Amino acid sequence: MTSWELADLLGVHESDIRLDALPNQPLHVVLELARHLDLHPADLTPFAEDVYHLPRHHQVQQPPKPSTEADAVAVLNALAHAGRPVTADYLAETLHWNTDRTTEALEHAWDNPTLGGPYALRRVASAHFTLTPRMDVLTDEQMNAIHPGNHTATWRNPNGTHRRPLQRDVLSDLDATVLHHAWHHGSVSADEHRPWAHAIAGLIDAGYLTITTDGDTVLADDVQYGLRAIDTDDVNPY
């Protein structure tokens, strides 16, 4: 094959198939020429021998895995938009996540309370979650002043000192004792147990206890549901 025939076959000018001109040719021309001459491309372009001998890597671009912290922020934002307690399964369904991812996000939010800004993740009912204002930002005086209602009676202990609302996820030994009494005896009375008055008031604020129309102080529905004392039909699932 003459140089003219080879150039014609490759669709280039005859002068372009000289070895010193090959580096200026597109890669497909060099490869096609090597194929017709039964040569390795590096034999035609020695300067690129190292390039031709490099192994070819197939790198599949995987979407970046979302961080657990980003997921936790997303869960907190979803709870803020929901405006009501929801279950982890409900969050997973609405966010189109699997259960493991949702659980990890909730656990991360629980371990890092500052992620929610002025709000904190709280457990309510049975495996329900919601957001409530944090109790560690304002002072007792600020809490008492900002809370709507009767400023002279709100957030006060029986002895007149300031009292913070009980956080639902923190129980003292006395709180547990009061709840245990309410569970076994059906109700609890501050009149009968004067030392318990502060704990009873805090448990009512936190939603553990509620006052019936008859004036009895009993376990709230969501607490009874958590203890399997009432059926799910009697409690709002959300």
Q: What is the pLDDT of residue 79?
A: 92
User: Which tokens in the block code for residue 213?
Assistant: 């129309």
Q: What is the pLDDT of residue 151?
A: 42
Q: Nearest-CA neighbor of 7 among 39, 32, 41, 44? A: 32
Q: What is the pLDDT of residue 153?
A: 43
d(CA 152, CA 161): 11
pTM: predicted TM-score of the whole model, two decimal places: 0.43
pLDDT along the chain (238 residues), means of 10: 72 69 70 78 70 59 71 93 87 92 92 88 78 79 64 49 52 82 86 79 81 87 73 50
Contact 154, 147 (CB under 8 A): yes
Q: Nearest-CA neighbor of 132 among 201, 80, 92, 207? A: 80
Q: What is the pLDDT of residue 55?
A: 60
Q: How many CB atoms lie within 10 A of CB 71?
A: 19
Mode of pairing for the β-strands spanning 217-219 and 209-211 = antiparallel
Q: What is the pLDDT of residue 150?
A: 42
